[in-house]
Structure 1
């Protein structure tokens, strides 16, 4: 990854339209490593997988955040759902 790529990534993450995700658990199951959680953001629909190794520890992301189906990342700062007024 070049410095320009890193700068663009930081700009996207820190734009005015970016938000702190409100992760909600859709489903979960126990594994030998801990509780595996499938979560989504209530605000934008982005999904990811988290692992909570111990009940007294917070979950940590195991995967990257994946946009909802039909989302277009071409606008800086947030997902835009194609054919929708949601921005």
Structure 2
């Protein structure tokens, strides 16, 4: 898979290939041509790979999911164009 953005817990990694064990968060930015792939297919693959966090960014909203009990559960949703994260790190993202 090639996500739009990947966050790892290993600073200074070199190269473009990572194992799923190195990935903390994957981000997919939905476009009309990728919406089914991003919302369903990639989400299922990331669940199977046990990626702890999955951020889905759509035109009007962003949702952060955490892997809990083998499924992604929403833990944060953007409001007024901002997404506030407390996990896996603290951040505020402007959409």
Which bin holds the TM-score, normalised by the shorter protein?
A: under 0.3
Q: Which has the larger radius of gyration?
A: 1
Given the two structures, how large is their TM-score scaled by the length of structure 1? 0.26
Higher helix share: 2
Higher strand share: 2
